[in-house]
Amino acid sequence: MNQTLSVIVLAAGKGTRMKSALPKVLQPLAGRALLAHSLASVAALKPAQTVVVVGHGAEQVKAAFKDHELTWALQMPQNGTGHAAAVGLAPVADGGVTLLVTGDTPLIRTETLAALTALVTEKTFALLTCNVADPTGYGRIVRNAAGEVVKIVEHKDALAANDTAVLALNEMNTGIMAAPTAWLRGALTRLEPHNAQGELYLTDVIAMAAFDGLCVATAQPESEMEIVGVNDKVQLAALERDVQRAEAHRLMNAGVTLADPARIDVRGKLTTGTDVFIDVGCVFIGDVSLGDNVSIGPNCVLKDAVIGANTAIHPMSHLEGCTVGEGALIGPFARLRPGAVLADEVHIGNFVEVKNSTLAKGAKANHLAYLGDATVGERVNYGAGSITANYDGANKHRTVIEADVHVGSNCVLVAPVTIGAGGTVAGGSTITKSTPPATLTVARGKQVTITKWLRAKKV
């Protein structure tokens, strides 16, 4: 833990332009809230304390991060970024360095933040800036003839004053800064609302730092993507594509073959072995691991899944909370639900659903079937249209199908029940009692033919 570093994350904004009841910092990017990305970068710095300033939707934001070790500070009403920083600084002890970041710049890298805070001394204030082609809407960095930062002018204020010289500048303020904590606390008490918005601007502390004789040091991010803010759904969608493009490049550089790098979505962590192939339209959510030579067909969704080597997942399959062994065949149109554990060489075919069940090596359920709360032995062949009736309306019960069993088509196995090893269940049977090994069990009505029956005719 860095005992000298405290972090304040500004996350109180409503995000009016999002046109959403969901607070801006909870809007999703690559499967995680915007704020989650910022907090992950901050956490890697191991600060002594992280304070998150909340306002609009405060309870929603706090609930979303209830498992994080955070200090919460409520800014109500919102009176500008300077006021937000003061609210966030209140629970922070004097001494050391305070880093201020925004909750809506999700791609900021830990390395960039570390480099920025390293610039701070008792007499040095550190500011993250970025030279951009189009700085419209951003505060501009104003330097003197010696190249020293003297102040930041907000875009709206420059427009109001028709300050063309400032508007022509392309070095913009990212909103991320670091300062000696004790000095920052005093500076925030001196802020005044002399601007077009009538708010307390955090950026005004830059001029104070220069006036107080502090050196204003600057650092820049590795790329402009790091400091891109998100204010509306258009910007959010554009940033999502940037993130997915970068993830696609990472995968390809690791040896993955993507049928189309523009048509993959990774909303979590995807790890891959060698010679993995991923077709178009696939979505990966949470933690997904693909072993060597895994092939994923078009339009598959995998969430929190582990897929063994040499397994093929055919198109339109949905896998969640499951583990699949090596050399398995899944789909097309298969669904593996949480708790599905498949051993090597298992086949799960089209329109087959597996939930909270284990299938041993070589077991097959190739067509139109359901296996819920079941334990399936090696080399079992589970027929088309067959189901385990695992729910009695109040409780779930388990079905055990031992090794080498053959279950015919359109059977109902009413749990709790065990089908003995090597046994056969005749097609169309409803099994309510356990069956002995190596036998044929038939449980269906006797077929009857009526020879003198007359079909009804229309009158």
**In this structure, are residues 131 and 171 in contact, taking their beta carbons and an 8 Å threshold?**
yes
**CA separation for the pair 203, 210 (Å, rounded):** 12
**CA separation for the pair 322, 170 (Å, rounded):** 50
| DSSP letter, residue 139 | P
Sequence letter at residue 437: P
CA 324 from centre of chain: 22
| DSSP letter, residue 391 | B
Look at the block and give the residue holding tokens 């990966």: 284
3-class state of residue 98 by DSSP: strand
**CA separation for the pair 248, 256 (Å, rounded):** 9
**In this structure, are residues 65 and 39 in contact, taking their beta carbons and an 8 Å threshold?**
yes
Residues 155, 249, 367, 397: which is the catalytic one? 367
Name the nearest CA neighbour of 89 among 196, 214, 202, 242: 202
**In this structure, are residues 265 and 248 in contact, taking their beta carbons and an 8 Å threshold?**
no
Residues 6+ apart with CB under 8 A from 296: 276, 277, 278, 279, 282, 290, 302, 313
**CA separation for the pair 61, 54 (Å, rounded):** 8
Element (H, E) at 70: none
Burial of 267 (0-12, 13-18, 19+ CB in 10 A): buried
- The yes-or-no answer on residue 56 being catalytic is no
**In this structure, are residues 405 and 380 in contact, taking their beta carbons and an 8 Å threshold?**
yes
Task: Give whole-number Cα distances, 320 to 307, 308, 362, 399, 458, in Å.
Answer: 11, 15, 21, 21, 52
Residue 259 CB coordination number (10 Å): 15
Look at the block and give the residue holding tokens 């891959």: 272
**In this structure, are residues 195 and 140 in contact, taking their beta carbons and an 8 Å threshold?**
no
Q: What are phi and psi of 330, to 5 degrees?
A: -125, 130
* Ramachandran area for residue 315 (φ above 0: left; ψ -120 to 50: alpha; else beta): beta
Please give the positions annotated as active site. Answer: 367
